[in-house]
Structure 1
Amino acid sequence: MNWIISILIITILILIYSRQRSKTKREQYLTKLRSDWGKPKETTHYNFDLISSYHLATLNNSAFQNISDTTKQDLDLDDVFTFLDRTSSAIGQQYLYHKLHCIKGQSEVRELDDSIDLFIKDEHQRLQVQLLLSSLNHKNVYYYHSLFTSDNMITNNKLKLAYILNTCMLISLGLSFINLLWLLPVILIFCINLVLHYKNKYAQYDQLNATQYFKQVHHTINKLHAFKKLSKTVDFEKTKKATDKLKALYNLTHIFNSDNMFKDEISTLVWLPIEWIKIMLNIELISFQLFLKKAKNSKKELTEVFESIAKIDVSISIASISINNVLSKPTFSTTKEILIENLAHPLIENCITNNIHLQNESLLLTGSNMAGKTTLIRALTLNAILAQTIGYVFATKYKAPFSQISTSIRITDNLNENTSYYLQEVKELKNFIEQSKKTEPQIFVLDEILKGTNTLERISSAYAILKYINTANAIVIVSTHDLELIDLLQIHNYSCQYLQESIINNELHFDYKLKQGKPESTNAIKILELNEFPKEVTDLAYKTKKMFS
């Protein structure tokens, strides 16, 4: 009797300890969430193959524009993503990446506003939601979308084969009680089933991983339904119906995910005979194929659950960004106009801001080396994308047409296609020519146009191209060192502006502020002087410059 009481006391103590430990871990995590609020994540490792998988799986022509790989590289969008990412779940992270790389339409720009406002104002609600979403921060959750974005590899022949093998297995087992020779076909069938079992695992790796957190995803959405304040900002009616319809999938996941329950040597002793039985009767193969059949007929519901969780998580991320950054909501005009006040680049700490106003004109940006021309046009272009994707910009005011965006900033030789720098840029510019013929508003961004060729032909070609693409529906943002383009283009609706340095005590100083007109000086030779090039070199350079001028 005493030993029973002892066991009960020990059990109760273990339960109390376990509960207290869980409570302590919860409080520690909540403390971390409070301290991290408004800050970028500390992690430096991002698996972009998994993060981008949802975006790549949902690429379609119905979007207003999918951001090209060229623009992604030109604007360092992966670095921008890591700064913006304050999500708690793998699903939210994937959706934020997708949102940043896909311009859908004006109607979707403001869809998260109510949720964002709630999470800014209500810390308690936000912390509880973050805590709940953190349960979906596992690498297998990255595969969840494959249940509705991939073509499920369901083969009726595979199921028929499994049923036939099972029938043969049961008959052979029964006959083996009469004659032990019947164990030979049992062994043969088991070997065939073994191949089918593991072939099934490897062939459908993504979807099998997706099921490992299937129940947790749906547990999470059901818990979210209980948040009353959140229910006022998010339409949960669709997801409530979706989760009801998806209940039929729950029980099936137990069968082919049971091996996850066994993680040590002792439990493996239990798992091994279970695994043998599953192999012997093709239980996992059959149940998984039945699961995929049901999932194939439930893609709409699976999508609704995924997007509902994702949008809530992205709302928290944007709310966090707004805490320590100046953000504003953009407005979209129907005329050829850009009006931006206090434009900043999110990746530059203590960024010097600029105002830009273009009315029925494009921008020709000139100025000194290192004055910030490339950074400025990147900041402008990036905010144009953010305005049309997440619906917020790093500026105090933003007004521009809702546009398709094309960039040519970071051109390099393409060794795989045996293409030179110049030819690579020519291909990009040809794309701009084709885009300029479209009826949708366009924003074309070019940095140091045609710098891969000689001066005379560069200026001549650049003038002709920039004049051609500056249509009524297009705004061109171009930087150049060729001051000759100013006189050529200012009569063709180009606003000529520049960034300038100053020299104080023989040192270059930059204010990074945009100015109207033509730069007063250039600094290429002066930089040679400041870096102590021989006087003979710099004197000859000044003399030659004067001769060409």
Structure 2
Amino acid sequence: MEAAILVVIMIAGFTYSAIKTKESWKNRCKRTLKEKYGKEPEKKEFKRELIRNYLDTVGGTQQVDEVTWNDLNMDDVYQRINNCDSTMGEEILYAKLHYAKQTKEEEELLEKRIAFCEADDEKRYHLEETLSKLGKRDEAYYIPSFIQTVEDFAISNLWVYQMLRILLVVVVVAAVVFHNIYALSALVVVFLVNLSVYIFTVRLKFDQEIHMMGTAAYLITVARELEQEYRKDKICEELAPLLPVFAKMDKKAFLLNIQSRNAMGDVFEMLQDFLLGVTQWHILTYMKVLNQFMDNQEAYLKIYRVVGELDAAVSTGSFRKSLPLVTVPEYEEAKQLEMEEIYHPLLHGAVTNSMELQHNCIITGSNASGKSTFIKTIAVNVILAQSIHTCTAKRMHLPHAKMITSMAVRDDILSGDSYFIKEIKYLKRILDALSEDELVICVIDEILRGTNTQERIAASKAIMEYLAHHNCIAIVASHDKELTELEKIGYDNYHFSEEFGEEDIVFDYKLQKGPANSQNAIRLLSFTGFPETIIERAENIRNEYR
């Protein structure tokens, strides 16, 4: 008797501890949701290969190629923006930054969603709470590819599991009706057989597929919540016509998702899982849900996109609120760029710059003066403008255009390409992208620096002249003063400068009109402690070339 009481007390204590732990976890999640909006996202592991799964699987026209993406450190920019609450939001946001092209209607819907978040903190919190139910489990990132190939995950010999379920029902009825040792023994045997099949077939062989299906099906439940809760706010109207085909999925989705959703290992849900397993419920329900997905793949992927875009919009609103200066872009047909107090989103306390660019331009200046950072700032903001309708500036006017760069060139040992070969391949892809049907904004840093001076100047001038005569806005940064002579064919001159002290160089990082007239390479050698003999010899050689 005492042993039984002790067991009851232990079970009660374990249950109480599990409940309190789960409550504490939920409260911590709520605090995080309430506090994170409008703040810079915390640094965390960047699961690039998982996050880009939607982009790789569903595809779409990528305006930003991988060279441009890497040149501009867009993974870092993405992480600065990403405050999403779900895998769907993270994947869609990543894809949007690659697509960098939205219709006016898509931009208006984005602004409506952001305005909703800004208007009422409590409503925004409840929206994030609903989205956070989807979580960020690793398997969820593969849902798009799972849905597109869902027929490959069908389970054969389904009749075996159906017969095991029927047999279980028969022996349960027999045990209740006859209530003898034979009926009870048959019940125990069938129970153990079904449990063994569940453990060694479902849990070991199909566990991953059932987890994936449960996670995928649970999206429908959450999407239905979103559609019903925010119908009057009109922030996810596209869900209404898509959900009816999945009308019978909600309860199945809830139960099938128990294993995937139960991060805290709730003892009651685990017990329920095994009891359902004995009835072969998981396998039979899995196939019913799978058949619905097979018949409605397109509708499901649209729901996935809508929910992801809603989450990405909340993240965009949070990004805007975290910035010291932000604006929405204004588009115009003219082939020109106007930016006021623009800055790079990754820099804290960044120096802002303004520019009215009605032609192509060449930016000159000394080493470390700010040329590369400024042209990256322009390129990043052109992408942000066309992907999330946001610019880190006081004002920005621009035309709709494809952004392409040639900046962070490196040699490639595996392919055997030298630095120069790699560079000319990068430049050639820019020329290949030029089209009369679509304006291209190309940003080039240190054009053709991988070859000798004479040929570099000649080839650079030829390429820049070619760009000037095509449907393109070219922004080129260079040390070569000879390129500033291209003003007569439509290249405006800008530069960055510095002030020399006795022991250091001071950069103000402010853009100025006209070509640069200073050089600092030899001064930098001196300030970093190179022997005086080298400094003097370098200055003498430089004077010989003047």
Q: TM-score, normalised by structure 1?
A: 0.82
Aligned to 1:231: 232
| Separation in structure 1 between the aligned mates of residue 268 and residue 96 of structure 2, nearest angstrom | 46
Distance in 2 of aligned mates of 1:537 and 1:388: 50
Unaligned ranges ≥5, structure 1: 1-9, 178-189
Identity of aligned residues (%): 23
Q: Shift of the alpha carbon at 1:35?
A: 3.1
Once the two structures are superposed, the pairs formed by residues 27-38 of structure 1 within 5 Å of their partners are 28-38=28-38
**Aligned pairs for 1:296-307 within 5 A:** 296-307=294-305
Aligned length: 511
- State the SS of the aligned residue for 1:478: strand
2 CA distance for matches of 1:141 and 1:148? 11
Shift of 1:352: 0.4
Residue-by-residue CA offset, 1:202-245 (whole Å, 9 max, x unaligned): 8xx5x6433223454233223323435x7334242x42343332
CA contact (8 A) 2:276 2:282 kept: no
CA deviation after TM superposition for structure 1 residue 519, in Å: 1.2
Correspondent of 2:92 among 95, 118, 124: 95
Offset of residue 194 of structure 1: 9.7
Give the distance between the partners of 2:113 and 2:245, measured in 1 at CA. 26
Q: Which deviations, in whole Å up to 9, do the C-alpha atoms of 1:296-333 show, x marking residues without a partner?
A: 22123312322332222222112112223111111222
Matches within 5 A, 1:212-361: 212-228=214-230, 231-236=232-237, 238-250=238-250, 278=280, 287-325=285-323, 326-359=325-358, 361=359
Any idea what SS the aligned residue of 1:311 has?
Answer: helix
Q: Which of 412, 417, 420 matches 1:419?
A: 417
SS at match of 1:315: helix
Letter in 2 for 1:213: T
SS in 1 for 2:347: coil
CA–CA distance in structure 2, aligned partners of residues 312 and 412 of structure 1: 38
- The structural deviation recorded for 1:445 is 1.0
- The answer to whether residue 494 in structure 2 is matched with residue 497 in structure 1 is yes
Specify the SS of the correspondent of 2:331: strand
Aligned-residue offset at 1:499: 0.7
Alignment partners' CA distance in 2, 1:265 and 1:506: 69
Paired with 2:295 and 2:312, the residues of 1 have a C-alpha distance of 28
> Helix, strand or coil: the match of 2:341?
strand
In 2, the alpha carbon distance for the partners of 1:241 and 1:521 equals 64
- C-alpha distance 122-473 of structure 1, shift in aligned 2 (>3 A): same
Mark the CA change 1:259 to 1:73 in structure 2 (over 3 Å): closer, same or farther: closer
Distance 1:226 1:48, change over 3 A: same
Distance in 2 of aligned mates of 1:220 and 1:37: 21
Alignment partner of 1:542 is 2:539 = yes
Residues 82-125 of structure 1, C-alpha deviations (whole Å, 9 max, x = no match): 11011122211111111111123333333310110121121111
Q: Which amino acid aligns with 2:111?
A: D
Q: How far, CA to CA, are the matches of 1:526 and 1:343 in structure 2? A: 30
Q: Give distance in 1, aligned partners of 2:14 and 2:532.
A: 82
Partner secondary structure for residue 444 of structure 1:
strand
Aligned-residue offset at 1:380? 0.4
Match of 1:210 in 2: 212
Map 1:65-464; keep pairs closer than 5 Å.
65-107=62-104, 108-139=106-137, 140-150=139-149, 152-153=151-152, 159=156, 161-163=157-159, 201=206, 205=208, 208-228=210-230, 231-236=232-237, 238-250=238-250, 278=280, 287-325=285-323, 326-359=325-358, 361-464=359-462
Distance (whole Å) between structure 1 residues aligned to residue 83 and residue 234 of structure 2 = 20
Secondary structure at the aligned position of 1:144 is classed as helix
Q: Shift of residue 504 of structure 1?
A: 2.5
CA contact (8 A) 2:259 2:273 kept: yes
Letter in 2 for 1:319: G
TM-score by length of 2: 0.83
1:341/1:354 contact within 8 Å kept:
yes
Using the TM superposition, give the Cα deviation of residue 467 of structure 1 relative to its aligned residue in structure 2, in angstroms: 0.9
Letter in 1 for 2:232: S
Matched residue of 2:375: which SS? helix
- Which shifted more, 30-39 or 512-521? 30-39
Q: 1:234 to 1:37 in 2, by over 3 A?
A: closer
Whole-Å separation in 1 of the counterparts to 2:125 and 2:269: 36
**1:497: how far off?**
0.7
Structure 1 position 463, deviation (Å): 0.7
2:537 is aligned with 1:532: no
Instruction: Give 1:263 shift.
Output: 5.2
Contact 1:499 1:512 in 2 (8 A): yes
The CA RMSD over aligned residues, in Å, is 3.8
Contact 2:227/2:236, CA 8 A, preserved across alignment: no
Structure 1 residues 199 and 469: alpha-carbon distance in aligned structure 2, compared to 1, 3 A threshold: farther
SS in 2 for 1:449: coil
Distance 1:195 1:25, change over 3 A: closer
The residue type equivalent to 1:224 in the other structure is L
Structure 1 residues 431 and 303: alpha-carbon distance in aligned structure 2, compared to 1, 3 A threshold:
same
State the partner residue of 1:182: none
> How far did 1:441 drift?
0.3
